[in-house]
Structure 1
Amino acid sequence: MTPAINTARKAKIDFKIHEYSHDPRADSYGQEAAEKLGADPDQVFKTLVVSMDGSGGSKDLGVAILPVSCQLNLKLFARAMGVKKAAMADKKRVEKTTGYVLGGVSPIGQKKKLSTVVHETAKDFKTIFVSAGKRGLDIELTPDDLVKLTKGKFDRICE
């Protein structure tokens, strides 16, 4: 059980867990998930942790959740977060703050609650897939439940 699954269970939302055999040689964790789940890459969402202008503490980190088929637009993300600029967060800081390893970072059940933005196209799907907290494990849930669990919001963060 991962913190993401425990959080979803505790919230009493409907969700499904999907497990697949992760290939450590995979170039893209998200693309691998889409292929192995047999899902549309627009429906499989990756979780990126972003550093925003600030002092370097966890308060200046945010979470971007976007389709694996998209590239994060840092300017759009900064605008959605109400900050001047944003950059990808340091790998070690991501793992320490979220409690998850890269490639298995779930937006749900992170050690520290981070401000979260889900790309608006999530609303185009009845359900979406996000990491369930480890490589080779995804959770399928409604976009609204994801926003509820993360206390996030929908916005345009990729082209």
Structure 2
Amino acid sequence: MAKNKEEKTNVMRILDQKKIPYTARFYEESEGPEGTREYGVHIAQTLGQDPARGFKTLVARGASGGIYVFEVPAAENLDLKKAARAAGEKSVELLHVAEINAVTGYIRGGCSPVGMKKAYPVIFHQTALDYETIYISGGRIGAQVEAAPGDLIRLLRAQTADIIANKA
């Protein structure tokens, strides 16, 4: 039996359970350009969204061994030094693709800060607060949720910081 593309994800169930308003957005999986930055912008454009409001999830390991989740605008790159400073670590490095599922329970391209296997520290780029709503992964490729950043930050006990690389 084929899965319904618009079937609720665990992310959506958690938001429902916590009574956090959101709008589910679905899109057809496509190859899109290589790299998370280009792909995130491609998805935003496909859905007619402002890429600055679409946040991608990046997972990193600190020098202490701790796991951290960073939410950055789709068109931006994470600055590892700024991210380490925000996390209170000497340094951080992104997890290898092969580790993402084991650590988070999600696959690359469908990783959401909501509903990971464990509650890791989450840091949103500070621009999330500039918008009434933002888009994050819905927990699988082809799904995203639009919600108020304040609601997501409270749910995840997240913080905000300047964690993106400056444009040259």
Higher deviation after alignment, 22-31 or 118-127: 22-31
Identity in percent? 33
Q: Do residues 52 (structure 1) and 58 (structure 2) align?
A: no
Further displaced range: 148-157 or 77-86: 148-157
Local SS of the residue matching 1:122: helix
Within the alignment, does 1:69 sit opposite 2:79 as a pair? no
Q: Distance in 2 between matches of 1:147 and 1:46?
A: 15
- Unaligned segments of structure 2, at least 5 residues: 1-7
CA contact (8 A) 1:29 1:103 kept: no
Aligned to 1:9: 16
Q: CA deviation at 1:25?
A: 4.7
* Contact 1:33/1:136 (8 A) holds in 2: no
Residue 54 of structure 1: how far off its partner (Å):
2.3
Distance in 1 separating the partners of 2:98 and 2:154: 27
- Per the alignment, residue 123 of structure 1 pairs with 129
Describe how 1:3-152 pairs up with structure 2 within 5 A: 3-27=10-34, 28-55=38-65, 60-152=66-158
TM-score (norm 2): 0.88
Where has structure 1 moved over 3 Å in runs of 4 or more?
none
Matched pairs, number: 155
RMSD: 1.2
- Whichever of the two has the greater Rg, that structure is 2
Higher RCO, 1 vs 2 (CA within 8 Å, ≥6 residues apart): 1
> What is the CA deviation profile of residues 7-64 of structure 1, one whole-angstrom value per residue up to 9, with x for unaligned ones?
1111101100000101035424312221121111101000000111124xxxx11000
Deviation at 1:94, TM superposition (A): 1.5
Structure 1 residue runs without a partner (length 5+): none
Distance 1:44 1:25, change over 3 A: closer
Give the TM-score taking structure 1 as reference length.
0.93
Q: How far apart, in 2, do the equivalents of 1:29 and 1:149 lie?
A: 27
